[in-house]
Amino acid sequence: MSFPPFNYVLLSKHLLHKGEDMKRLRLAVLISGSGTNLQSLLDRSQDGRLAADVVVVISDNFYAQGLLRASAAKIPAYVVNYKTHHQEAKYSGSIIALDSLDQTQRILKQPDKALRLQKLAGLVRAEKALIDILDPYELDYICLAGFTRLVSPYFINHYNSKSEHRIINIHPAMLPSFPGLHGYEDTLAYGCRWGGVTVHFVDSGEDTGPIIAQSIYPIWRTDDVDSIRKRGLQLEYELYAQCINWLAEGKVEILSGGPFRTSTLINDEDYPQILKNWVDLAFSK
Ligand code: GRF
């Protein structure tokens, strides 16, 4: 398939006008575990490599190490207990009409509709709690960084419009290969010679949203999951920060409305050099 043609409709937002100061973005980071991506964003925000501030952190897990990182950086951090929300939905029903949501969601695969709606009801309750926490922070972007919960169209529609995508995710594989929770394991188990990492906007599928950036790392015969994860994570940190900076600089165009799926275009003359730096970094680890 060739590159998207010129007749694509440009729907990009955040394009800066000449002379306009670059705005520091306000970010939420959603985590479930160790939070090393969060740490990288916090460090880079502190030392000036990131044109953004992490203003709030949410976890679905009380024991996430990332919560300690947020607290050490004096960033407000919250926990949303999905289990409780799923139980509440079971006993007191849904807070919104679920049928139309069910028709647009592509994350819950249960063939039994009643079961699926039950799951969706719990998810929506938890997501309402997320939104209640997030909205007062007047965020530019919501960054998923090792957040292991599925995100429903209820949450996505709250933040996205046709022209604006405001939820981004870092995924530890070369999408569309190996979506889901085990990117490094799946890449190695498949026998790949190269692994990849992807930063993408979030849509109503699992890891299917428009790709912002990808890079690759070599896999050597002596590697195991731990060693490729270590190599891949170094790339993840670079890619996530670069993508956020591109967003802050208005360099990410969203191409939509043509015959192909929605995609992005990076307007940065240094793009080839940045790509090369990522590959060099992957070889040096
Ligand atoms: C990363 O590999 C990320 O790509 C994936 O989950 C992992 C999170 O790691 N979505 P950490 O919590 O940032 O250390």
Q: pLDDT tens-digit profile of 41-66?
A: 999 999 999 999 999 999 999 999 99
Q: Residue 187 corresponds to which tokens in the numbers above?
A: 């890449």
* Contact (Cβ atoms closer than 8 angstroms) between residue 57 and residue 75: yes
**Residue 6, CA distances (Å) to 3, 11, 47, 209, 263 in order:** 9, 13, 39, 21, 13
Q: How many Cβ atoms are within 10 Å of 127's Cβ, its own excluded?
A: 23
Q: Mean pLDDT throughout 138-161?
A: 95
209 lines ligand 1 (CB under 6 A): no
User: Which residue out of 170, 174, 185 has the highest number of ligand 1 atoms within 8 Å of its CB and is therefore the one to mutate?
Assistant: 170
Q: How does the average pLDDT of the chain come out, rounded?
A: 90
- Euclidean distance between CA atoms 108 and 48, whole angstroms: 40
- Per-residue confidence band for 21, with pLDDT thresholds at 50, 70 and 90: low
- Per-residue confidence band for 193, with pLDDT thresholds at 50, 70 and 90: very high
- Per-residue confidence band for 114, with pLDDT thresholds at 50, 70 and 90: confident
For atom 8 of ligand 1, the residue with the nearest CA is: 146
For atom 10 of ligand 1, the residue with the nearest CA is: 146
pLDDT > 70: percent of the chain: 92
Flag whether pLDDT at 260 surpasses 70.
yes
Quick one: pLDDT at residue 115? 84
Flag whether pLDDT at 34 surpasses 60.
yes
- Euclidean distance between CA atoms 285 and 227, whole angstroms: 9
